[in-house]
Amino acid sequence: MDFGYARVSSKGQNLDRQLVELREFGIAEENIFRDKESGKSFERRSYLTLRQKLREGDLLVVKSIDRLGRDYSMILEEWTFLTKTAKCDIVVLDMNLLDTRARGDNLMGKFIADLVLQILSFVAENERMCIRERQAEGIRIAKEKGVKFGRPRTELSCYVEEAFSDYRDGEISLDEALKETHLKRTTFYNYFHRFLRER
């Protein structure tokens, strides 16, 4: 049996383009499963229902590989389960090489599709590593140039510092200090401890 799967990341996004292509491929309406959820995991309601229905020899069709999931290592793991354990075929409409069906003109379909997916997984992981390295390098260079990261430091007014001094010296109570500084108790203590460290 042939099944289709369509996914977008949020309820506000539209599935129409994917549904049109799945129907044009020949997937029956009742066999198209839809999710409007993030692809960060495979714990999606419709996808899990579809997974339970798949049997050996069935075909799963998706418009693009990122509709199946977002993380290539997870996609690779799920792909292996579907093709090796569940013994299903997969067709990715946007990439002809990701077609595991063994046909007369494609005797090595499963092998080629697995190989292409491994390459895609490697490229995606390599790109993630490069992005992390570029970010780290950018942060290092920025720090060397004196760029400060994190929330900007709040400078205390002379009135607040005066209230802190009076509170520290026992000249005013906590309630009086809070009233003078217009700070909430937690914020007061945070700034007060910083004031003490810097004195």
Pinpoint the alpha helices (H) of 26-107.
Answer: 45-53, 65-68, 72-80
CA 1: distance to chain centroid? Answer: 32
Structure confidence at residue 66 (pLDDT): 82
Domains belonging to the chain, first-starting first, are: 2-126 (3.40.50.1390), 158-197 (no CATH)
State the DSSP H helix or E strand holding residue 92, giving kind and residue range, or none if neither: strand 89-92
Q: Which pLDDT tens digit goes with each residue over 68-84?
A: 887 777 888 888 888 88
Q: Which pLDDT tens digit goes with each residue over 133-142?
A: 777 787 788 7
Whether 9 is a known active-site residue: answer yes
Label residue 31 by pLDDT band (50, 70, 90). Answer: very high
Nearest 5°: CA angle at 101, between 96 and 105?
Answer: 75
Structure confidence at residue 2 (pLDDT): 95
Q: Which pLDDT tens digit goes with each residue over 140-156?
A: 887 777 776 666 666 67
Label residue 159 by pLDDT band (50, 70, 90). Answer: low
Which of the following is catalytic: 9, 38, 46, 64? 9
CA atoms in the 13 A half-sphere facing the CB of 19: 12
Contact call for residues 175 and 188 (beta carbons, < 8 A): no
